[in-house]
Structure 1
Amino acid sequence: MTQSLPRLRIGTRGSPLALWQAHAVREALVLRHGWPEEAVAIEVIRTSGDTITDRALALAGGKGLFTKEIEDALLDGRIDLAVHSAKDMATRLPDGLHIAGYLPRADVRDALILREGNSLDDLPPGARVGTASLRREAQLRRLRPDLQVSLLRGNVHTRLAKVENGTFDGTLLAYAGLSRLGLAGRASAVLDTDLFLPAVGQGAVAIECRAEDPPTNLLLAAVTDADTALAVSMERAFLAELDGSCRTPIAGLAQVTDDEISFRGMLLATDGSAAFETARRGPRAEAVRLGADAGREVRAAAPPGLIPT
């Protein structure tokens, strides 16, 4: 008997968290459409971001380093869809590709992981905190300018190990990622968004595919979450107005209720010495417009040089 080919091919990075996300999308498709599991294949694709681990993404090319090779495979037809952490996606996608939707969003907050203690206040002056995120670095420096903040790249397990072995006194990770890997108990504290605003798209799993592929888009529409799509679209509209990349510390969070959507956004100086905040609230149908308007407000308030050109 000839074995049939998979119905869909998912492209993903090979980290434990990326694979969790790809399997979650496969499970959603299989359950929704009544397929056998083998109808959806998972293809691991190594990206430049996985290869470059000795310097910050901002110095190596930005967020697209985690998506370029996967997007090339989409454009070439080697895969049918790609699964990413929404916060890793560039503001502007390659021509011919779009975000078809999102799985329901998980917890958006950042988790603090410490060798000792249970809060930022427990870190002694001069403590070493590692992070690969300019946003986290800037907010840390804003709250605790006495800390030594330096680069820490690698997957979740690598970063946890660097704290365990004493290379760093602490680090910050997305609480959603820890939870998805069964590591929620490793969080020393989960930081309230009023204190520590998350990255645009944090906690959301994005599904990218070719815009001119109606059959795949239709299949994906059945498993995507409308509220998550609305919230992240508002956040990305804010980011787009600031030309957001890994070179600029930007945070933003939209929250959807029955009738309206609210948003809070922030642009920071890398050293935490300045922050420009804004907020919006309005009808759901105005989400993208309000997000873009918030971005323009912050751009106008920011001094020359804060946003790279």
Structure 2
Amino acid sequence: MQSPPLIIGTRGSPLALYQANLVQRLICEVSGRTEQEVIIKVLQTTGDQIKGELKYFGGKGLFTRELELALLDGRIDVAVHSMKDVPTVGHEDLVIRAILPRADVRDAFISVKYDSIDALPEGALIGSASLRRRAQLSVLRPDLTFCLLRGNVGTRLRKLEDGVCDATMLACAGLRRLEQENRITQAVEVDMMLPAPAQGAIGVEVKRDREDLTEILAPLNDRATEWAITAERAFLRALDGNCRTPIAALATLDGDVLTLRGEILAKDGSLRVAQTVSGQVSKTLDAYDLGFKMGEAVRDEVGGRITFDD
């Protein structure tokens, strides 16, 4: 009797489909299955339907909720996420079983008029839905103004070309995955703008009791990326980070030493609190502890000086 196909659940955006197809190809390579035995199922998420700012509708979980419900009720076997979109507190019956090697973590500055952030004229209008990017740009250029720009990569680029704003910011990883790196006007170095926690990382989520998938997915997991993402997300969790909170973090592994940089900002860029810690790690829990403790330290340093909720 033939086994039923393995079903990969994904959002329907071009970037989400790229990520799902990548996971499909990798699963086929490691398991010997054909593409007919590993199929992709597109689900629409609440986040894809919202036109306004996500923070008013429940935050990042809006991009993962329907996929997780489909995992729980058995409509799909695995879900593929941009780890940046995954809430730090998840359902107890679900687990991220693999995190793929990370892509370019940097933010991309994109403009059809100006070749860098520094080249923007005073009062230039930046289109972005990210409070983090707005806050960081406000630190660099307090004179800049902002408008909401949402939608998938193609939609945002078309709006930019239509003159809705002078520039926008996207993740370099997404543009490279969509073979649109030629649209990157300036790849912003992390010393200038620290990325969002887990930016550039793809995660594969399953039901915790699906032990039959553990062996299949284990070869897809990149340990260095897993530990870095774990530390960044623990930092975010300690700060109760959500779409109302401008938070950035980046961890890098050198041998067995993990270095984590993180920052939290006032929405208008008027205050920025940053820390860096390093520590030896030999397991995922070590990375989590390092990140969570730094988050607690930053929270203590911030005190009541930053108000995150309107």
In 2: Cα distance, 1:128 partner to 1:307 partner: 23
Q: Please name the residue that 1:102 is paired with.
A: 99
Correspondence list, 1:74-93, <5 A: 74-93=71-90
In 2: Cα distance, 1:307 partner to 1:150 partner: 19
Consecutive unaligned residues in structure 1, runs of 5 or more:
none
Spell out, residue by residue over 1:134-169, the C-alpha distance to the aligned partner (whole angstroms, 9 max, x if none). Answer: 111110111111111121110000111111111111
Further displaced range: 90-99 or 169-178: 90-99
Q: Please name the residue that 1:10 is paired with.
A: 8
Q: Is the CA contact 1:101–1:207 (under 8 Å) kept in the aligned structure 2?
A: yes
In 1: Cα distance, 2:140 partner to 2:56 partner: 25
Secondary structure, counterpart of 1:145 in structure 2: coil
Q: Is the CA contact 1:12–1:44 (under 8 Å) kept in the aligned structure 2?
A: yes
Normalization by structure 1: what TM-score? 0.96
Spell out, residue by residue over 1:59-81, the C-alpha distance to the aligned partner (whole angstroms, 9 max, x if none). Answer: 11100110111110011111111
In 1: Cα distance, 2:99 partner to 2:150 partner: 26
Q: Which amino acid aligns with 1:5?
A: P
Q: Is the CA contact 2:266–2:308 (under 8 Å) kept in the aligned structure 1?
A: no
In 2: Cα distance, 1:218 partner to 1:58 partner: 37
Q: Is the CA contact 1:256–1:284 (under 8 Å) kept in the aligned structure 2?
A: no
Secondary structure, counterpart of 1:93 in structure 2: coil
Deviation at 1:306, TM superposition (A): 2.5
Deviation at 1:308, TM superposition (A): 4.5
State which of 113, 117, 130 in structure 1 corresponds to 2:114: 117
Q: Does 1:296 align with 2:289?
A: no
Q: Does 1:287 align with 2:287?
A: yes
Q: Is the CA contact 2:128–2:169 (under 8 Å) kept in the aligned structure 1?
A: yes
- Number of aligned residue pairs: give it: 306
State which of 36, 42, 45 in structure 2 corresponds to 1:44: 42
Correspondence list, 1:47-196, <5 A: 47-53=45-51, 55-196=52-193
Consecutive unaligned residues in structure 2, runs of 5 or more:
none
Q: Is the CA contact 1:98–1:208 (under 8 Å) kept in the aligned structure 2?
A: yes
State which of 265, 271, 278 in structure 2 corresponds to 1:274: 271
Q: Please name the residue that 2:307 is paired with.
A: 306
Spell out, residue by residue over 1:207-263, the C-alpha distance to the aligned partner (whole angstroms, 9 max, x if none). Answer: 111111111122111211111111100111111101111110000000011121101
In 1: Cα distance, 2:55 partner to 2:87 partner: 12
Q: Which amino acid aligns with 1:28?
A: L
In 1: Cα distance, 2:95 partner to 2:204 partner: 9
Q: Which amino acid aligns with 1:296?
A: E
In 1: Cα distance, 2:263 partner to 2:106 partner: 15
In 1: Cα distance, 2:56 partner to 2:138 partner: 20
Q: Which amino acid aligns with 2:198?
A: G
Normalization by structure 2: what TM-score? 0.96
Spell out, residue by residue over 1:78-127, the C-alpha distance to the aligned partner (whole angstroms, 9 max, x if none). Answer: 11110010101111112211111211100100000012121101111111
In 2: Cα distance, 1:213 partner to 1:148 partner: 48
CA-based RMSD: 1.4
In 2: Cα distance, 1:208 partner to 1:306 partner: 33
Q: Which amino acid aligns with 1:49?
A: G
In 2: Cα distance, 1:186 partner to 1:3 partner: 46
Q: Is the CA contact 1:209–1:217 (under 8 Å) kept in the aligned structure 2?
A: no
In 1: Cα distance, 2:148 partner to 2:57 partner: 13
